[in-house]
Structure 1
């Protein structure tokens, strides 16, 4: 039988029309839903060097959980902390401003005493008028929690964590108290939690474990809503101390350094008080092992709750490795190929590990050399949360890089740091060029210049060979520093 073409095309047209109407009706009933903002877990180690984890080159011990985080995510090679010491580095993270603009530029404590100890807990506070990154996330609908070492304002000040955007806080508000891993108290929001002594004459339990357990409870309690979890662990900052069972793993397996005799400068919250340690190498390795174990437990918790595909886990450090309390970055090669340690603005003092995992979104086992810094996280998290970053920020969102869209990633024309300790220092990186100015309050204005492409270890100062680059660097060093009445930096504030 010969087909009726007219009837065929009529039926086809009707079927197509009905299909389109059905599709449109379906779309009207189920409009595309906006993507849920991801949870953010930000793990901040304390004084962990660039090569203090094995995926960055550590040879004396292994960090299998942090390595697994890198295998499942992205490892960054050119990431920088806010500066070379704790408080101002954390201030850049919380505000999205570099240290030439941020309100806190040194580890300054409240009420310094002429007797070598402190009258009150806490460091110089962030002002309540500053719009912080956790406040930004709160307004975007995130539940926010911080568990660990704060260092940006003590109890009853405008800088305490609950006044700076955290719904919940548990840990040390004072970074000087955080020198002691068995403290007599911690803080839960505004409540002072007293810790009772034990048979060894130490107070309470090992503080990193107490804070870790509270963080796990926070994840469990908030798994069904967007949360920002900030974990500024005190590990592996001095004092060098770990539980006996953790020490036992490394005792006799590492060549030991000189025993550390400790310091004790009187009662109260002692500036610089550090306990003695007979086996500092074993203690340091054990502390990093505790940190690595905790990272692993956080990963397992996220995975077991089924929220890995909507949770960004970030691991980094606040500055380079320390030498206090028996710390020995030379033995552990803590800075790897880099020059400098904590308090230096050479690469070893400010370039830090950065690993990110976001299952299904970040390419597994990937490496990225995008130059970035702490002040970029505020802009990045604003993009993730679908909100606007504070206008005062210096950062650039890293979201294109994180999602593998490198061609869309905006670049910094330069990165800037200053450090107000010692005699004052500045540094700027512009492409392959790195400039460092030291001893500023002693009148020095000379600039060292290094070509990081040829000389990552900053061994050869080539300033004399590049006067035009030095002139540009000098202009940047002057322009990026904004005078702060509390924190002075020599000729720049005259």
Structure 2
């Protein structure tokens, strides 16, 4: 614990004896996530364009953008906190993530996530702030951050904790409690404003790590709970100075004057920023502008700390938000047009609900003042951080590394699409800024696909074949002019993507769950049998891009028969083929395997077993049209063990059998099964 009276001791230590230069250790990674901050709430993204007196300022975040890259087309997977944050950590969009819709406090599943990946790569993994994925209150909290790859946690475990920004030792209406590791903090938080508290604790972790473990890289996930929900002001002005020379300081629980943080004094919910104090605005607008400015100043404080600790040039910093702006507890996003030039707010699949302001900064790697309009998602960060850390990018992700974009080596990723699905029983607000068709529109079951600059979206879906409305986002940012009648081929493409890119989740049933996944037209030169390749293993997880060492063909055997005949135990095995499905219907795939196994059908993560030391059985059910469907199977036996792999399918008539080799086909030019569609 870093108490205030020890603060200058560490300053002297760091100034006098830095043991390592920044470039001798892998880069640190800091991911700063705000809660319900809209695209229009940053000066560099929109506020400065508005003109007039009714706007606020974000000077420190604008500086971050000026020294890094603005990602203008960065999306979140879901327009509300739980699915959005889960998708970020898991690297999966909402067609695959097991936390969907409004499943607040559903436990994050065990296995691969950003924290566990980076911890395996040697990082200290710290989460400060709002989590919301631990499990229900009163449960054993199976998804607790310390059980899901984080080495340290300090913040709110449950999503309702963040509805108020003074925890007050659990006496709030929502019984908000700050938790340190597994221990609830029940004293001293009466006057701790959470933006200040979480910033101070994050600073303390950074200082502690630099002092005690300078040769170990750090991942810090700093998740604010503001400007979400209740409109509340801090107790007073931001402390003078930044970084090591001032700003916010974590004082610990035993400080008699300002417990936990050096701003825990004075009157709560009282301080309006001087820039807004005398504005002729309603009080609620002044509160909101002050809340955003507090985050802005806190980020500036953190950035100066990186300079003071001499780790600035070896730290990737990403700033983002979990979804669009909210409109509850007196907050009105029309005040400052928090949704920017778009239609939609939180809980909408219109742009204003899912496109969020995002900045990335990494000196020497990201050009200052750069801008990228490439469509990317928050599920891309897992792959990005893996590459930054020098780890293999896993197969079990919907994301792609953004390093080519961030480094300027490429304008885009060459990806085919982005995908969303979400349900909410309410309506899009009737705001004058919004496209007329969207105003007061029932949301219901929503689904969306973006291909290039075209976005397909459908609302209140009640049947699988409901058409997508199609908008050209470059010319129509408010999604006002539906081009669907002019784009029949694009409509068909989006319909196909919406079926071959997701798998049904019984806990979030959709009206299109039983829709048939369309088959592909037969490619030229089709040959009997699968392609089997061997690849070097990392010992961590199934890689997305294996390093192949050997390739062969199986004219008649399926993967189960092949495995039973004996496989090398020191290599990963891959079978890639087109699977000929005999008839339309429901098919259940059953996998029994040891080690790590991954099965992909089209873009569907069909089955995934990570690091199983014993044989285990998993099943997945899909609805397939007759014809050819690309399938990839990868298997890595546990160290010292013999491969166990049994992949079966059950046909619509109930017959079950090992996946037969005679139904597998290949082409002579099969190079990379990731390109199967």
TM-score (norm 2): 0.60
Instruction: Give the gaps of 5 or more residues in structure 1.
Output: 1-33, 110-122, 198-202, 257-278
2:472 corresponds to: 451
- CA–CA distance in structure 1, aligned partners of residues 198 and 153 of structure 2: 10
Partner of 1:99: 94
Q: Deviations over 1:229-253 (max 9, x none)?
A: 0011011101111125442532331
Matched position secondary structure for 1:336: coil
Q: Is residue 271 of structure 2 the alignment partner of residue 252 of structure 1?
A: no
- Greater mean alpha carbon deviation, residues 229-238 or residues 433-442: 433-442
Residue 169 of structure 2 is aligned to residue 188 of structure 1? no
Q: Higher relative CO (CA 8 A, sep ≥ 6), structure 1 or 2?
A: 1
Of residues 307-316 and 442-451 in structure 1, the stretch that sits farther from structure 2 once superposed is 442-451
Secondary structure of the 1:332 match is coil
What do the CA deviations read for 1:383-407 (whole angstroms, capped 9, x no partner)?
A: 1111123321011101111112116
The answer to whether the aligner puts 1:228 opposite 2:219 as a matched pair is yes
- Once the two structures are TM-superposed, the CA of residue 359 in structure 1 deviates from its matched residue by 1.6
Query: How much does 1:152 deviate?
Result: 1.0
Q: What SS does the corresponding residue of 2:230 show, helix, strand or coil?
A: coil
Other-structure match for 2:28: 39
2:133 to 140, 152, 161: 152
The alignment status of 1:376 with 2:380, answered yes or no, reads yes
Large movers: runs of 4+ above 3 Å: 441-444
Q: Distance in 2 between matches of 1:180 and 1:433?
A: 39
Distance 2:29 2:410 in 1: 22
Note the residue ranges of structure 2 that are not aligned, 5 or more in a row: 1-22, 49-54, 171-176, 237-270, 426-443, 516-677
> In the comparison of the two structures, how many residue pairs are matched?
420
Name the CA distance, whole Å, in 2 between partners of 1:434 and 1:255: 37
Cα pair distance change 1:295/1:248, threshold 3 Å: closer
Matches within 5 A, 1:28-67: 36-59=25-48, 60-67=55-62
Query: Paired residue for 2:107?
Result: 125
Matches within 5 A, 1:355-394: 355-394=359-398
Partner of 1:26: none
Structure 2 equivalent of residue 281 of structure 1? 285
Instruction: List per-residue Cα deviations over 1:90-114 (Å, max 9, x = no partner).
Output: 11100110000001012324xxxxx
Query: Which residue in the other structure is 1:469 paired with?
Result: 490
Between stretches 203-212 and 168-177, larger displacement belongs to 203-212
Aligned to 2:231: 240
- Aligned residue for 2:452? 431
The 10-residue stretch of structure 1 (412-421 or 137-146) with the greater mean CA deviation from structure 2: 412-421
Q: Work out which of the residue numbers 415, 419, 438 in structure 2 matches 1:416.
A: 419
Higher percent of residues as helix: 1
Asked if structure 2 preserves the Cα contact closer than 8 Å seen for 1:148 and 1:170, the reply is yes
Residue number in structure 1 paired with 2:337: 333
Length-normalised TM-score, structure 1? 0.82
Alignment match, 1:211: 198
Asked if residue 76 in structure 1 is aligned to residue 85 in structure 2, the reply is no
Q: Which of 215-224 and 295-304 deviates more?
A: 215-224
Contact 2:463 2:512 in 1 (8 A): no
CA shift, 1:478, in A, is 2.3
Match in the other structure for 1:136: 117
Tell me the secondary structure at the aligned position of residue 387 of structure 1.
coil
1:239-290 per-residue CA deviation (whole Å, 9 max, x = no partner) reads 111125442532331522xxxxxxxxxxxxxxxxxxxxxx221111111011
The question of whether the paired residues in 1 share the 8 Å contact of 2:28 and 2:314 is answered with yes
2:303 is equivalent to residue 299 of structure 1: yes
CA deviations over 1:441-476 (Å, ceiling 9, x no partner): 588823211011221221111112212211211121
Deviation at 1:440, TM superposition (A): 2.2
Say if 2:481 is the partner of 1:460.
Answer: yes
> RMSD of aligned C-alpha atoms?
1.9
Equivalent of 2:149, from 165, 172, 177?
165
Q: Secondary structure at the match of 1:229?
A: strand
